[in-house]
Amino acid sequence: MPDALPSISPSPLQRLRLPWTEAAGIALWLKRDDLLHPHISGNKWRKLAPNLEAAVLAGHQRLLTFGGAYSNHLAAVAAAGRLLGFETIGIVRGERVEPLNPTLAFAERQGMQLHFLARSTFRLRKKPEAWAEWQARFGPCFILPEGGSNDLAVSGCTAIAQEVERVGVHVDYWIVAAGTGATAAGIIRGKTRGQVLAVSALKGDFIEREIARHAGIEAGTHWQLLTRYHHGGFAKWTPELIDFVNAFRRTSGIRLDPIYTGKMMWAVYRLTLQGFFPKGATVVAIHTGGLQGIAGFNERFGNLI
Ligand SMILES: *Cc1c(COP(=O)(O)O)cnc(C)c1O
């Protein structure tokens, strides 16, 4: 069994010159973690790499994890398991609906065993307190929390900041989408300068506590959570967001997903127009991947992207 997850490494850092970045006089860079691997993309690759190394070292042959029906994490675990020779078990929130959506169909094609749990039970049984139950049911397995967000995952994400700093870009602002906040926490821990702006992909501000816990540092000069860019909540959208994502693709050639990276880049755009970034500032946005989710999004809402 190979002990490392393959990728292009380091991921490219791309300068984006768009009409609005040039008008504002800022230097915008995009860390292209979406290019790390075709099926284990973005921050899911960063989070999984150290976890899978630990699983291999501990002699595990089975991975078990949790996710929603369109979860980028489930898809990534299924693909990584296939690649490295792990059996994979995915506990999915909700009921099985045939035909499976593109995310779950992909996971199953990669060999992941899917088990569906009603929403109420899912909430309780994904918790670490219930993990012994899963071990008893499926045998010894390496369990990854929902979103893959544990301490090893946070340490894997420190490399995002380290790679950028190593090439000599002096960052004033880092900007990254947040779901559980583990990726933002890794960047906060890995950076030596600049402020991290974590753009919440969902409503509510509980992520602030999660980021503080994962990073070991309270919000303030090192980082802040931006809670005004979720477009109605997790996986919710507005026509404005869709138009932005499509226009961004036309002008930059880069695809964004509407769940995370589209909202993150929308925040960069709005903050730039509002003059939030001083002239001459260097802003590094993280493309955390998630493009596998576009097919499922289009299937649900009509071919918007
Ligand atoms: C999962 C995911 C996130 C959220 O990452 P967290 O570490 O949970 O905050 C952001 N962007 C994309 C594309 C994701 O798939």
Q: 194: Cβ below 6 Å to ligand 1?
A: no
The mean per-residue pLDDT over the stretch 126-136 comes to 95
> What average pLDDT is seen over the chain?
96
Residue 3's pLDDT band, with cuts at 50, 70 and 90, is: low
Q: Tell me, yes or no, if the pTM score tops 0.95.
A: yes
At 213, the amino acid letter reads R
Tokens of 38: 């075709």
Do the Cβ atoms of 158 and 190 come closer than 8 Å?
yes
Q: Are 13 and 32 in contact (CB under 8 A)?
A: yes
Region 101-106: what's the mean pLDDT? 98
In tens, the pLDDT along 150-199 reads: 999 999 999 999 999 999 999 999 999 999 999 999 999 999 999 999 99
Does ligand 1 have an atom closer than 6 angstroms to the CB of 42? yes
pLDDT tens per residue across span 224-236: 999 999 999 999 9
Provide the 10 A C-beta neighbour count for residue 60: 17
pLDDT of residue 143: 98
Question: How large is the average pLDDT for residues 41-69?
Answer: 97
Substitution site in 32, 40, 72, 226 for ligand 1 pocket (most atoms within 8 Å of beta carbon): 72
Q: Please give the domain boundaries of the chain with CATH numbers for all domains.
A: 13-38+150-301 (3.40.50.1100), 43-148 (3.40.50.1100)
CA–CA distance, 112 with 110 (Å, rounded to integer):
6
Percent of the chain exceeding pLDDT 90 equals: 96
Q: By the 8 A CB rule, do 74 and 82 touch?
A: no
Q: Determine if ligand 1 sits within 6 Å of the CB of residue 45.
A: no
